[in-house]
Structure 1
Amino acid sequence: MMLKIKLLPLIALLLFSVALSGQSLKRNAQLLKTIDANFIKGTAQYQLMMKSLEPGRFPKTFDVKSNKLVTSDSGWWCSGFYPGTLLELYAQTKDPALLREAKRMLGLLEKEQYNTGTHDLGFMMYCSFGTALKMDPKPEYKEILLKSAKSLSTRFDPKVGCIKSWNGKPQDFLVIIDNMMNLELLFWATRMTGDSSFYKIAVTHANTTMKNHFRPDYSSWHVINYNPETGAVQKKQTAQGFADESAWARGQAWGLYGFTVMYRETHDQKYLDQANHIAAFILSNPNMPKDKIPYWDFNAPDIPDALRDASAGAVMSSALFELSHYAAPKEAKLYFTTAEKMLKSLCGAPYQSLPGTNAGFLLQHSVGHLPQKSEVDVPLTYADYYYVEAMKRYKSYNSFK
């Protein structure tokens, strides 16, 4: 079945976005200068990183104790962020070394288009090959992305109404809030092919997530365990957060970003409402610090001494810049000013790396998986990716697309 593109809602949304960008949401001249400088610094940082990277490996983080870059193979869920960041930095500075390195990494990543064992193909392939396709619309990039979307679709179960996130016991069907970030690849596939099956999977997954992943205050659980035979919820829990009932900060960021994308792709009001509700939980939370970079969990027991998560702040900032284009004027101003504050904080101490340090990473002080004591208070590739995206969105705010 082919999807009919609805032009009128799209035109209305674009007109609304143009009108909104003309509001009194003026960018800070000094921050714009800082961003331009950061793109140049970022280019130097990533040139430092590429010199430390072993052949066939992808950067993950930096081990301060051993003073070594920690790496992965292409199957790690974060493998797409490094080439994606290289391409975004190249778009800003036109440094040919970045483009050469990005193309080299895309060659290493290409085989993951056939990977049906992960739900993270959106992160891995759309943040890399999707970025490459926008800059250079090569047919081979399109084919890789289409195969990636097909591979991701194999993890969808209509009985549950979700894409399986983690492989586990036969009696479990595990879905994490992070999975909202992988739906953008499916929407792209429908636009490219006219095949509505990708679109329907994305919408069904989002609807099931709206129904089961969120509490009355619009904070989200990290993990929902469904019965694979009936689709019934078996357990609501966390993996990377402080407790089952706590609000893991990056999980809230994934939900905010994901439902903002859902509204962009469908123009369905319920997704805008959901994004607004999630934003309200985050921005009104009494445990949100003054610099707007969240603690790793909004319910961490040692606040105000709890670790911050720069990666969550970067994702939130980028998402809020986009959401401000769709929201009503009052909310739009709040989203814009908060995202701007988050970005200002990330652009300085203690979050931004000093030149020549941190193995080339742009940001420090992110938290990957604190309960497992993995990637705690370290730089992370996805923090850098969404930081660069947030800076780009701010720089081009009045011509947002």
Structure 2
Amino acid sequence: MSVVLEPLDPRYAAAQPPLTSAWLRAAIGDVLAGIDAMLPRFTATFPAASARGGRYPAVEKVDWTEGFWTGLLWLAWEVTGDDKYRRAAQGLLDSFEDRLDRQIKVDTHDLGFLYLLSCVNAWKLTGNERARGLALRAAELLYRRFNSSAGVIQAWGDLNDPARQGRMIIDCNLNVPLLFWAADETGNRQWREAARRHLAQASRYLVRDDASTFHTFYLDIHSGQPLRGDTHQGFRDDSCWSRGQAWGMYGFALGFNHTGDAAFTELSRRLSHYFLNRLPDDYVCYWDLIFTPQDHAFRDTSAAAIAVCGLDELLKQLPLSDPLRPAYGNAIGLMMRNLHQHYFAHNEDGLLREGVYNYGRNMGINVPNLWGDFFYFEALVRLSRTWTPYW
């Protein structure tokens, strides 16, 4: 593997107090209180991608983020067994069906974010046949975005738009599990092969030799030849967008679960070292890893939460004899304690303050965002019990 493995910063070697069951219960209790405060407003509509003025506006089927709300509800149901969460999540199936029926913003790879967290989990947890059918319809749409010459799933937009053809982005690492799941459900080998090839191309072109990542990369859809890497949300084309690096950490680890290819585990490790080595003193990343404390840049708490989930998944794949296991566990504890102590959004919508949606486009800066909330809750659930990921 040509991607470098940086030595891990020695500060992670220092033993940390464990995240006790009492600490985790209290943190989950805070999350549930936050969800309960929002629940009455979001049984027929969804929270917007980012909060404004301390509250999430209500939206309907206009973004890639609505699944994170149903994901939060299903996590709450798993943790508590309280049927109010299940009823609310299942009540929103009408909206996800309507989105497919009327083709509302389904020209995107983000069908994974939408339907894994609204329908695949509903099927897995309750045997809801309707949810299974909707998820399979979404998987078919996602497969149509696969270009066999380039070996990638086009990120978003019209498949015939020359400006967007052959474009993959690192976020799709968390969307391809929809195709892996659908392939397992139906036996459709083409869906599995598309997902596997996309991950292989992502590992080849989105990951740089120094273990940082491009946000996006273009390939020629006729020859399959690589064209260029750039960014849509990072600071600049050659920097490393923090949330993209976290998508890579988590997504490649998940890739091992679906393919059995240990190279994905090792790649996740390399990306994780790059990420951890660039964290500031409170272990919550800036929105791009190029920044240092002297830059006074905004944090992105959502990237930190995703990274914790990725590290935890990586730990599950490493042998007990791996000498870096304690350091990874220390990193998880440091990030989670600081997220809870310094960034938890008490008395307002959202769970984590100081997220960044898209800095360059002045979207959702220094506010809670819905995916940050979801992955923070997922991290707590992961650390508090044996849990099967929705991915």
Cross-structure match for 2:130? 140
- The reply to whether residue 255 of structure 1 matches residue 231 of structure 2 is no
Structure-2 change in CA distance of 1:396 and 1:230 (3 Å)? same
Cross-structure match for 1:225? 218
Cross-structure match for 2:270? 277
Distance 1:172 1:51 in 2: 39
Asked if 1 retains the 8 angstrom alpha-carbon contact of 2:280 and 2:292, the reply is no
**Once the two structures are superposed, what CA deviation does each residue of 1:87-146 show, in whole Å capped at 9, x if it has no partner?**
101211233332222122232222344654111011000022122222201222211111
Cα drift, residue 299 of structure 1:
0.7
**Once the two structures are superposed, what CA deviation does each residue of 1:296-323 show, in whole Å capped at 9, x if it has no partner?**
1011376452111110010000111111
**Once the two structures are superposed, what CA deviation does each residue of 1:222-251 show, in whole Å capped at 9, x if it has no partner?**
111222332223221111100100000000
- The reply to whether residue 152 of structure 1 matches residue 142 of structure 2 is yes
Query: Secondary structure at 2:229's aligned position in 1?
Result: strand
- The reply to whether residue 342 of structure 1 matches residue 332 of structure 2 is no
Normalising by structure 1, report the TM-score: 0.86
Cross-structure match for 2:237? 244
Structure-2 change in CA distance of 1:138 and 1:339 (3 Å)? same
Asked if 2 retains the 8 angstrom alpha-carbon contact of 1:112 and 1:148, the reply is no
Matching residue within 375, 378, 389 for 2:364? 375
Query: Secondary structure at 1:371's aligned position in 2?
Result: coil
- The reply to whether residue 92 of structure 1 matches residue 79 of structure 2 is yes
**Once the two structures are superposed, what CA deviation does each residue of 1:156-209 show, in whole Å capped at 9, x if it has no partner?**
000111000022642542211111110111111121122211110011001111
Matching residue within 125, 129, 132 for 2:119? 129
Asked if 2 retains the 8 angstrom alpha-carbon contact of 1:123 and 1:181, the reply is yes
RMSD (Å) for aligned C-alpha atoms? 2.2
Distance 2:225 2:293 in 1: 35
Distance 2:144 2:279 in 1: 39
Q: Which moved more, 1:162-171 or 1:258-267?
A: 162-171
Cα drift, residue 73 of structure 1:
2.1
Query: Secondary structure at 2:236's aligned position in 1?
Result: coil
Cα drift, residue 366 of structure 1:
0.6
Query: Secondary structure at 2:351's aligned position in 1?
Result: coil
Matching residue within 353, 358, 367 for 2:345? 353
Query: Secondary structure at 2:299's aligned position in 1?
Result: coil
Structure-2 change in CA distance of 1:137 and 1:54 (3 Å)? closer
Normalising by structure 2, report the TM-score: 0.88
Distance 1:231 1:374 in 2: 33
Structure 2 segments unaligned to the other structure (5+ residues) = 1-14
Structure-2 change in CA distance of 1:44 and 1:171 (3 Å)? closer
Structure with higher RCO (Cα < 8 A, 6+ apart) = 2
Query: Secondary structure at 1:170's aligned position in 2?
Result: coil
Asked if 1 retains the 8 angstrom alpha-carbon contact of 2:43 and 2:92, the reply is no
Identity of aligned residues (%): 27
Cross-structure match for 1:16? none
In the TM superposition, what are the counterparts of 1:2-401 in structure 2 within 5 Å?
31-53=20-42, 55-64=44-53, 68-113=55-100, 115=103, 116-167=106-157, 169-173=161-165, 174-283=167-276, 285=277, 287-300=278-291, 303=294, 305-328=296-319, 329-349=322-342, 351-354=343-346, 357-359=347-349, 361-396=350-385
Distance 2:47 2:99 in 1: 13
**Once the two structures are superposed, what CA deviation does each residue of 1:57-101 show, in whole Å capped at 9, x if it has no partner?**
44322211xx54223322410010001101101211233332222
Query: Secondary structure at 2:177's aligned position in 1?
Result: helix
Distance 1:87 1:400 in 2: 12
Asked if 2 retains the 8 angstrom alpha-carbon contact of 1:172 and 1:226, the reply is no
Query: Secondary structure at 1:277's aligned position in 2?
Result: helix
Structure-2 change in CA distance of 1:164 and 1:170 (3 Å)? same
Q: Which moved more, 1:299-308 or 1:210-219?
A: 299-308
Distance 1:28 1:196 in 2: 46
Distance 2:131 2:43 in 1: 25
Q: Which moved more, 1:52-61 or 1:144-153?
A: 52-61
What letter is aligned with 2:314? Answer: L
Structure-2 change in CA distance of 1:144 and 1:172 (3 Å)? closer
